[in-house]
Chain A
Amino acid sequence: MNEPMIQMQGIKKRYYEGKPNELEILHGIDLRVYPGEFVAIVGESGSGKSTLMNIIGALDRPSEGSYLLDGVDMLSLKDGRMSEIRNKKIGFVFQNFNLIGRQSAQKNVELPMLYAGLPARQRSQRALELLELVGMEGRARHQPNELSGGQKQRVAIARAMANDPAILLADEPTGALDSQTSRTVMDLFHRLNRHQGKTIVLITHSQALAEECQRILTLVDGRIIGERAGKEVPAHA
């Protein structure tokens, strides 16, 4: 098999280090995600899901362990380099979409490219392509408050894809959606995974959603206690 996209070894995360109220959230996570995989990390709230996601997504640094993302050692990075990694290698999809208000769908999709320093013409062209990919080409000029939840999430996914990241990191992407639009969004992830070969890490507390993924990792109290294959992926995706 190829080199893993994500390679974590003994990742620990402690807060208030060295103080009496020191708190260890992650107790040594080993995690490998290979290119083209669609992996779910399932855990109840308080299991350390968010902390793990922050570390995977280069928003936070682990206290201990080793983490290679697409071959980059993530442990010794300065803030500026962390921003760059988030920009180029991570595509975040949030539960509450987190589109920037008063900015059109297209401008939202262009944002990561803007920070990557792409010229305006290229940004706009790629943004329109991505919006087409998620079926939102007709809404490019709409502002977030003119879009439904499912539409917002599709724009957010287009935005996450902007700089062709190494992984899509989705945190409860259907948590704020009804079952029908949830389905659309999940189908979109499957399509990106299959046709674009995108590596996707889905973080969720929903077993049902996790079953759709190729591999399911269960996180309990800061430890990965189990790993198994998912069930069949919905055929129509």
Chain B
Amino acid sequence: MLDNIQLALASLRANKMRALLTMLGIIIGIGSVIAIVTVGNSLTATVNESLVNMGGNNMQVGVEYRPDENGEYDYSVAMTDEDLLNDDMLDAFRQRFGQQTRALILTESMSGTGKAQDGRLYANVRITGVNDGFFAAEKVKMLAGRVFRTQDYEGARKVAVVSDRLVENMFQGSTEAALGQTLEVALGESVESFAIVGVYRYQPQGLFLGTTPTATKDTVTDLYLPIYTEQQLSGQSGHYYNYFELVPQTGVDPNDLVDRIQSFFDKSFYAHNRNFQVKAYNLKNEMESITSVLDTISLAIGVIAGISLLVGGIGVMNIMLVSITERTREIGVRKALGAPAGAIRTQFIVEAMVICLVGGLLGILAGLLLGAAGASLMGSPARPNPGVILAAVGFSMAIGVFFGYYPASKAARMDPIEALRYE
């Protein structure tokens, strides 16, 4: 067996270019499978990580356009305060779903970025109003100071929780120095002052293409205000909400809860609203649909890879037929020296296997490189799948056996006299 492998390697070395071209189909086939699995794995893992970060079972409940009987949407109708969620609705909701709810989060961001400035020191911020549920759900990790109190919310006080990045930029990283300080923030035309009461840890989000999570001096971080303060600043009448986020209690079936929340709002508050309705979404379900898209892409590439492997296999068969014709005389000599048909067959099957195996290994290498490149493009670490790599090795050997069998049998059946006479 060892002799057969050495022999096969020797004949590969003798025809390097030919061998490489023959392997190309196998390389492309195996390479694309490994690449897509590596990228797919790292994407899935990143999505799952983000899910955990964002609270995997969290739900979004929001107001959106309602389709008419024909499934058409009338976007000409503007959304008014009447159509939005209000405190009464949220109270009723809490009453009804308090058992199933761990936290109800309201967040609202002002459009555009603000600039906190103190002489030459500055930090870019996004003004985001939050409620107590936001902190209760631990959406951010507090480093120092406190979160907002009831008086802060009810009085719409100008207090802020800022990021450690901002503290870095404006207070040389000293949270003690930052706490209690008044921060001047330029918001479009006006300048507003906020008292810093707390500092949270800035967490870069690296889920989507292009946002490589490296924080710089100019990175925009959230500056959190009590939600009513934010609503006042952005000139809203206040206490109306577009959507809220919900953290369900553990052990609650999210799909069931989604349905119940939707029908609750439908029956209680939106039965007579012709243009708008409340919809609840489960984050996990949304993510699953992303992964299923990914699965479909994987399948498509898998099919292409399969075709490529088939073509590659036929190429190997073809080159093996050429090879045994070229080596007819050698086969004759081997037979004259007493090689049984089985030994000849084994020799050429091993040769086909070696071609496919070397091709497969090159393909794995190419696939890993490509997968790593793809994963780093998405800003997530590459996750090669050892099982798939092992399967690829096995599969390429199987191709060798399958497509090498016919040429090898042809060689084994040769008449030694004819073969010896072959010029």
Q: How many whole Å from B79's CB to the nearest CB in chain A?
A: 80
Q: Do residues A54 and B417 form an inter-chain contact, with CB atoms below 8 A?
A: yes
Type the 1/0 row for B330-363, where 1 means its CB is closer than 8 Å to any CB of A. 1011111111110100000000000000000000
Instruction: Chain B residues near A116: list those with CB within 8 A.
Output: 338
* CB atoms of B333 and A98 under 8 A apart: yes
Complex-state Cα separation, A47 to B339, whole angstroms = 29
Give the interface size bracket for B toward A.
20 to 34
Q: Give the Cβ gap from B76 to chain A, nearest Cβ, in Å.
A: 81
Report Cα–Cα, A80/B338, bound state, in Å.
Answer: 9
Q: Within the assembled complex, what's the spacing in Å between the Cα atoms of A137 and B162? A: 86
Q: Is the CB–CB distance between B338 and A100 below 8 Å?
A: no
Interface check A12, CB cutoff 8 A: no
With known contacts A60-B417, A100-B333, A80–B14 Cβ distance under 8 A = no
**Is A87 at the interface (CB under 8 A from chain B)?**
yes
Residue of A nearest to B340 (CB): A83
Residue among A84, A86, A107, A114 making CB contact with B336, cutoff 8 Å:
A86
Q: How many residues of A are in contact with the other chain, CB < 8 A?
A: 28
Q: Which of B10, B329, B337, B417 contacts A115 (CB 8 A)?
A: B337
> B416 contacts which chain A residues (CB < 8 A)?
59
C-alpha gap A24/B332 in the complex (Å): 24
Complex CA gap A10/B297 in Å reads 75
Bound CA–CA A19/B336 (angstroms): 29
**Smallest CB gap from B333: residue in A:** A98
Q: Which of B7, B336, B339 sits near A92, CB closer than 8 Å?
A: B336
**B417 near A84: Cβ-Cβ < 8 Å:** no
Which residue of chain A has its CB nearest to the CB of B335? A83
Is the CB–CB distance between B343 and A115 below 8 Å?
yes
Known: A86-B337, A98-B336, A111-B334. 19 other contacts (CB 8 A): A59-B335, A59-B417, A85-B338, A86-B335, A86-B336, A86-B338, A87-B339, A92-B337, A94-B420, A98-B329, A100-B333, A101-B330, A102-B11, A102-B14, A103-B7, A115-B338, A115-B339, A115-B343, A116-B338
User: 7 closest pairs, A vs B, by CB?
Assistant: A87-B338, A86-B338, A98-B333, A83-B340, A112-B337, A102-B10, A115-B338
Write the residues of chain B forming the contact surface with A, with a CB cutoff of 8 angstroms: 3, 7, 10-11, 14, 329-330, 332-341, 343, 416-417, 420
Residue numbers of A with Cβ under 8 A of B are 54, 57, 59-60, 79-80, 83-88, 90, 92, 94, 98, 100-103, 107, 111-112, 114-116, 159, 163
